Amino acid sequence: MDERARHLLKSLIEQHIAKGVPVGSRQLARDAGLNISPATVRNVMADLEDEGYLISPHTSAGRIPTHVGYRFFVDALLRVVPLSAESNRLLIHRIGFRAPDAEQVLHAATGILSELTHMAGFVRVPRRATRILRHVDFITLREREVLAIFVTDKGDVENRLIRTEQHFGAAELAQAANCFNVTYGGRPLQDVIHNLQRDLQQSRHEMDRILRSAMELGEEMLEEDQQRMLIEGEFQWLDLPELAGSERLRELLAAVRQKRDLVHLLDESMRGSEVRLFIGEESGYAPLSDCSVVSAPYSVDGEVVGVLGVIGPMRMPYQQIIPLVDGTAQLLGRALSQSG
Amino acid sequence: MDERARHLLKSLIEQHIAKGVPVGSRQLARDAGLNISPATVRNVMADLEDEGYLISPHTSAGRIPTHVGYRFFVDALLRVVPLSAESNRLLIHRIGFRAPDAEQVLHAATGILSELTHMAGFVRVPRRATRILRHVDFITLREREVLAIFVTDKGDVENRLIRTEQHFGAAELAQAANCFNVTYGGRPLQDVIHNLQRDLQQSRHEMDRILRSAMELGEEMLEEDQQRMLIEGEFQWLDLPELAGSERLRELLAAVRQKRDLVHLLDESMRGSEVRLFIGEESGYAPLSDCSVVSAPYSVDGEVVGVLGVIGPMRMPYQQIIPLVDGTAQLLGRALSQSG
DNA sequence: TACTAGCACTCATGATGGTTGAGTGCCAAG
DNA sequence: CTTGGCACTCAACCATCATGAGTGCTAGTA
């Protein structure tokens, strides 16, 4: 592909992103600034179509980029613009400082992504597989009901109600918790569960019931983040002419509610440390075949723990979205990190 | 209004609920089973329209009920059917037993409401104004970061990260927590905050920073449930012909996201102990003027703490929705209650 | 050889107008 | 009071047509 074709492809995609309608040869010839006739442009466009970068919805309707076209565009033609001062200010204002509650920061990040992009924003919550158990508490709520509370080193708190056969006094429970903390505190959750499982095999004591439940809670904490993902702003898809009113929209909403496959896809993209794009069919996930996903992993204390990003139409202003997602990931990581 | 008019109104509304299209005189005459000619029906319908129960969208469409018509229908004509065995089974299966985690039960209730009604389901989370503080914990997370954990008698757990100027040892914090528990434990949250505020006026100690933050956390716990409401299944509105594709839908979604006014409306309906309906404009809330809200308060340990229900089109099968919402409220209350 | 002008062709879009059918209101007769 | 009849209304549907944006192809030009 020669220089002129690249320029025209770039110009065409930019125009299509801006306007949302197929781009014809006349308009492209005018706006590309190449002093070239529409007929010449048509020849180039025909070549680009043959090579799979463009497609026309019907005979007399100009052309739109394919996902191959978009891919070439973002890889070879796109110059990312730095985050606008205003967006940056907003980001910092909303997630730039350490909040007292991690959950709130995650929500804030999801919301701001959606607001600034006018698309759906998501945040995959930090996985806790490597979290370290900091503290355990057992509290009597009422007769034969014990509340178990787990705290990890990153400040995650999970709790669970345990029903017991017999009644335990406060002192008894405090002692159990203390024992638990001494034995298992400061160790990774995985180890705790594993050891607990082993230790429980040996003893037979009524208190076991509580420990067993506590173990289950720990397991839940690890399993739970298989699923957990915040997503917000799906309703913005209603405004997209390419989706609105069609069956695709419903499929997409259902798929997003389902989350499972989506989470799988995102976990894949956690491997790298860079912004990653799934354009159209690239995701290999049918409901997303009309959409693009821009995602970036975020790190807490130097370790990648989650991924965030946006889901929108293929036709999105990548040069702004990419730095925005990138910046949000950085800020979120910092906000959740110790050094923050 | 005579008996025949009532019968026709009932029949018309039932048909309109079933089919969703305006009902004409011919069809109504046939289906009402009164051996009456369409012309006669037309006369009756004209009267009903004059009295404000019906309206015709345009000259040559049949008629549809107004919100006044629906109101009369549910108050005077509707015979509520008992919950179907299948629905009942499903309800019990999903929320009929005490789950280990209150949050999960609330989510389950929201979900099942939405699923069974094919409308949006909501649950206003239990208010905690009268909750009693059961336990407080202060845990060192890292250097100069303390995690405060509050537990109420109903098993709510809230936590908050507090940054401090100086470092506190584990023993020091344990003592503070112990002191806190002895002084304030077993008292309503409101009192705790009030007393804490007073006590803090007198002393000047670095530990105050932690106590003050703890107090703020307590305040947040009380304030927070001004806002908290779970809602699920808004996307089902996409399937409604009366809303789909219109600006109304967008308004409605935005309003539901906003929550504030909605929460206000629902708190109103918490006063009674019965199922309550807001039909169309009755809610006095513009975005809901095409919708009906069916809500029922639920009680935990004999005290009304929240409200749940569904939001859907005015044209909804009230005779099934009402018992369903009622039953869900009962089950949820029981699931959250002590006697479970 | 590369570009361009011209031309015939395609096709979505939107306007126009006629037909259909469901439904109404009103009136006069039973 | 009920009913059949009749004129009327109006959304929905359909076919037709003009328009215009856009294309591919070809022949001519720099």
What's the per-residue H, E or C state across chain B?
A: CCHHHHHHHHHHHHHHHHHCCCECHHHHHHHHCCCCCHHHHHHHHHHHHHCCCEECCCCCCCEEECHHHHHHHHHHHCCCCCCCHHHHHHHHHHHCCCCCCHHHHHHHHHHHHHHHHCCEEEEECCCCCCCEEEEEEEEEEECCEEEEEEEECCCCEEEEEEECCCCCCHHHHHHHHHHHHHHHCCCEHHHHHHHHHHHHHHCCCCHHHHHHHHHHHHHHHHHHCCCCEEEECHHHHHHCCCCCCCHHHHHHHHHHHHCHHHHHHHHHCCCCCCCEEEEHHHHCCHHHCCEEEEEEEEEECCEEEEEEEEEEECCCCHHHHHHHHHHHHHHHHHHHCCCC
* Among B161, B167, B166, CA closest to B146: B161
Radius of gyration of chain A (CA): 26
Residue A340: the pLDDT is: 43
| pLDDT tens sequence across B52-101 | 999 999 988 999 999 999 999 999 999 999 999 999 999 999 997 766 67
Strand (E) or helix (H) holding A107? helix A102-117
Give buried/exposed letters for A53-83 (b at 16+ CB in 10 A, else e). bbeeeeeeebbbbbbbbbbbbbeeebeeeeb
At A305 the three-state DSSP class reads: strand
The candidate with the shortest Cα–Cα distance to B69, out of B49, B99, B89, is B49
Band of pLDDT at residue B340, cut at 50, 70 and 90 = very low
3-class DSSP state of A167: coil
Three-class SS of residue A122?
Answer: strand
- Cβ proximity of B84 and B319 under 8 Å: no
Judged by DSSP in three states, A35 sits in: coil
Average pLDDT over residues B196-205: 75
Residues in chain A with CB shorter than 8 Å from the CB of B149 are 137, 149, 151, 157
| Per-residue pLDDT at A129 | 67
Q: CB of A146 within 8 A of CB of B140?
A: no
What's the CA gap between B307 and B127, in Å, rounded? 10
Q: Do B100 and A238 touch (CB under 8 A)?
A: no
3-class secondary structure, A135: strand
Rg (CA), chain B: 26
One-letter amino acid identity for B23? V
Residues in chain B: 340
Half-sphere exposure of A291 toward its Cβ, with a 13 Å CA cutoff? 28
Q: What angle do CA B259, A308, A149 make, to 5 degrees?
A: 70
What DSSP element (H or E) covers A159?
strand A157-163
pLDDT at B104 over 80: yes
Q: Which distant-in-sequence residues (6+ apart) come within 8 Å of A144 by Cβ?
A: A163, A164, A165, A166, A167
Distance from CA of A155 to the nearest CA of B (A): 7
Q: Which of A32-36, B180-184, B191-195, B316-320 reaches the highest mean pLDDT?
A: B316-320
* Distance between CA atoms of residues A38 and A46, nearest Å: 12
**B107 CB-to-strand C distance under 7 Å:** no
How many Å from the CA of A262 to C1' of D22?
39
Find which nucleotide's C1' atom is closest to A37's CA. Answer: C4
Residue appearing with tokens 């289950």: A216
pLDDT of residue B177: 86
Q: How many whole angstroms from its chain centre is CA B86?
A: 23
Q: What is the pLDDT of residue B295?
A: 97
Other CB atoms within a 10 A radius of the CB of residue B7 amount to 16
Please answer whether residues B196 and B184 qualify as being in contact, where contact means their C-beta atoms are separated by less than 8 angstroms. yes
Instruction: Tell me the count of A-B CB pairs closer than 8 A.
Output: 88
Residue in this structure with the two tokens 């908290």, named with its chain if needed: B228
Is this prediction's pTM over 0.75?
yes
How distant is the Cα of A27 from the closest Cα of chain B, in angstroms?
Answer: 31
Residues 6+ apart with CB under 8 A from B314: B65, B67, B70, B279, B280, B290, B291, B292
Strand order in the sheet with A120-124: A229-232, A120-124, A303-313, A291-300, A276-279
Chain B span 26-45 residues with beta carbon within 7 Å of strand C: 26-27, 38-39, 42, 45
- The residue among B333 and B144 whose pLDDT is bigger is B333
Which residues of A fall within a CB distance of 8 Å from B120?
Answer: none
| Cα within 13 Å of Cα(A1), Cβ side | 22
Amino acid, res. B13: I
Q: Minimal Cα–Cα distance from B273 to chain A, Å? A: 27
**CA distance linking residue B95 with residue B90, whole number of Å:** 9
- The residue that minimises its CA distance to C1' of C23 is B60
Q: Which chain A residues have a beta carbon less than 8 Å from that of B249?
A: 238
Q: Chain A partners of B141 at a C-beta cutoff of 8 Å? A: 134, 151, 153-155
pLDDT digits (tens, 9 = 90+) for B131-156: 788 898 888 887 888 888 988 887 88
Residue A54 contacts residue A63 (beta carbons within 8 Å): yes
Which residue ranges in chain A fall short of pLDDT 70? 98-100, 129, 203-207, 225-226, 245, 338-340
Q: Is the pLDDT of residue B339 over 60?
A: no
